[in-house]
Structures are given as structure tokens and as C-alpha cells.
Amino acid sequence: MTIFGWSNSKMAQHYTKAAQSRRIIDAGFERRKSYVARKNVPIYRTGIPVSQIEERTMEKQRQTREMVGPEGPFHR
């Protein structure tokens, strides 16, 4: 404590608490930045145009309907 010129431990606690608060606030801002960066990632990163993905999805749905029949998989 004498290094910083403090006469008692209350001053050390005061400055330590202030420094911890700043660290916590800075960490929160960093977490928010990384969250925003992850949130802005495009959904389709494959390089395949959306129209081709939609065509493939429609084809898979058609094949599934053919396999299970027009009534669906749970029809008895």
C-alpha cells in the first residue's frame, strides 16, 4: 500500500473495485462485438445460388412424397 501512497486498505479496495468494473464493462463490449459479428454471417456460405438450393429442396420433398405416398408417413 505504501507504494501507491495509500494510508489504509480502504483506498486499495476503492481503486481495485474501480479497475474491476472497467474490466467487466470492457469484456461486455467485446462479447457484444463478437455476437454482432456472428449474427451478421450470411446463411448461405456455400457459394451455391439460393435458387439452386431451393430446387434441391423441392426435389428432395418430391422424392419423400413419392416414397411415403400421398397420405403421408403416418397414414394407416
Q: What is the pTM of this model?
A: 0.37
Grade residue 70 by pLDDT with cuts at 50, 70 and 90. low
Residue 75 included in any domain: no
Closest C-alpha among 43, 65, 40 to residue 54: 43
Q: List phi, psi (to 5°) of 64.
A: -65, -45
Asked if residue 73 is part of any domain, the answer here is: no
Query: Is residue 4 one of the residues assigned to a domain?
Result: no
Contacts of 1 (CB under 8 A, 6+ apart): 7, 8, 9, 11, 12
Residue 76, in any domain of the structure:
no
Instruction: Identify whether 23 is part of a domain.
Output: yes
In a domain, 54, yes or no: yes
For residues 61 and 40, which has the higher predicted lDDT (pLDDT)?
61
**pLDDT tens sequence across 4-60:** 787 888 888 888 888 888 888 888 888 888 877 776 666 655 677 777 778 888 888
| Closest C-alpha among 26, 27, 1 to residue 13 | 1
**Number of domains forming the structure of the chain:** 1
Letter for the amino acid at 20? Q
| Domain containing residue 16 | 9-68
